[in-house]
Amino acid sequence: MGSSLCVAVRKKEKQKQKKTVVFLPEIPEEMLIDILIRLPAKSLMRFKCVSKLWLSLITSRYFTNRFFKPSSPSCLFAYLVDRENQSKYLLLQSSSSSRHDHSDTSVSVIDQHSTIPIMGGYLVNAARGLLCYRTGRRVKVCNPSTRQIVELPIMRSKTNVWNWFGHDPFHDEYKVLSLFWEVTKEQTVVRSEHQVLVLGVGASWRNTKSHHTPHSPFHPYSRGMTIDGVLYYSARTDANRCVLMSFDLSSEEFNLIELPFENWSRTIHMNYQGKVATCQYMRLASDGFVDVCVLEDADKSQWSNKKTFVLPISQMNFVHGDRLVVGASRDSGKVLMRKANLLRNQHARFFLYDLERNEIARRIEIRPSLLGSFNKTNQFLKVCYTFQTK
């Protein structure tokens, strides 16, 4: 009797213990965000499954802006495309850690980015950590940190199309600008039209708000770059004339800016000390010269006097020989240089060149084994690159 009573008491105590619920103190949302933004993107993807709160936080615009803030360390995304099969590509990302070679220059190694889903198509641009792609008439925006993909409404125009992607800091909005144009058999542009789409619920293509839409028909000539909420890109009015167009992502007003160089075939636009600059590199391979003009007044198409940068003799061995491809980076005053053709069995290198210091600031390497595994038949690859933070 006594033993059975003891057993019954113990059972009741165990039942009480099972029913006991311990409530942990709730972590303030801002503190939780401060913790999460310090984590790598791969960890964030796993933590989306913790709770609905964590999912909503990690996928929110506020969190994305904090995660990709400018003070975060930059990394390079390389987009390798098969020249004969444009739908075949490989997305690479530089490692967060770097080493130093014999010249004491920082060297980053890029490898395949395994967290971004395969989307195919053409890389339009990147803005504040988001990647924009186009496949035919479809445009997609991907957040590499959360693996979110947003597919935009299909573009209905049957003419040629070109896209740009940027961020409006005034309204904290992401916009896609599209240019549709028609050409004759002689490649003369006879008509062009701009449309814009603002990312968000119920997004749709519409005409721009501009009161001064460019009257001349345009043919796009370059990728865009954004400085302080203004998108800049090159466009041709005819076979012999190229201009710099600016598009204010907030007011959606256009401006046509005449270029300072008559020979514009080998020019790129870059961020130079917070201003848009035109860099002409036609004498780079022969003399090691790079000419730069900075835009001082967009309304008057007024540029600064030409400034010439001369590569040191020690770097001339790289620019000689094969044709160079030069591109602008998002780092002020720095340009990316690489050989035009990347061979499957060779060690491929990019150089991030600092014009102001007149030195190579960073080397980026692609392992030959990676190129070989990507392309078994065609040895030549084309590279589109862009800097993205985090």
| Chain segment 325-372, per-residue pLDDT in tens | 666 666 667 777 766 555 555 556 677 778 777 777 777 776 666 665
Tell me the DSSP string of 109-178.
EEEE--SSPP--SEEEEEETTEEEEEETTEEEEEETTTTEEEEPPPP---SEEEEEEEEETTTTEEEEEE
Contact 177, 189 (CB under 8 A): no
For the CA atoms of 108, 109, 114, 117, the dihedral, rounded to the nearest 10 degrees, stands at: 70
The per-residue pLDDT for range 22-68, each reduced to its tens digit, is 554 566 677 777 777 777 777 777 788 888 887 888 877 777 777 76
Count the Cβ atoms, other than its own, within 10 Å of residue 159. Answer: 13
Phi-psi region of 110 (alpha: psi -120 to 50; beta: other; left: phi over 0): beta
Tokens representing 1 are 């009797």
The per-residue pLDDT for range 72-91, each reduced to its tens digit, is 445 556 666 665 655 555 66
Full-prediction pTM beyond 0.85? no
Residue 4 has pLDDT above 80, yes or no: no
Q: How far apart are CA 229 and CA 172, in angstroms?
A: 10
Nearest to 89 by CA among 327, 371, 389: 371
Contacts of 95 by beta carbon, 8 Å cutoff, 6+ apart: 75, 108, 109, 110, 111
Q: Give 221-279 pLDDT, tens digit per residue.
A: 788 888 999 999 988 877 778 889 999 999 999 999 999 887 777 788 888 888 888 88
Question: Which tokens is 256 given?
Answer: 């046509």
| Rounded Cα gap, residues 319 and 326, in angstroms | 10
The one-character DSSP state at 313 is G
Identity (one letter) of the amino acid at 125? N
Asked if the model's pLDDT at residue 15 lies above 90, the reply is no
Ramachandran region of residue 175, left (φ > 0), alpha (ψ -120 to 50) or beta? beta
Q: Order across the sheet with 173-183: list the strands.
A: 160-168, 173-183, 189-198, 206-207
Query: Is the model's pLDDT at 113 over the cut of 60?
Result: no
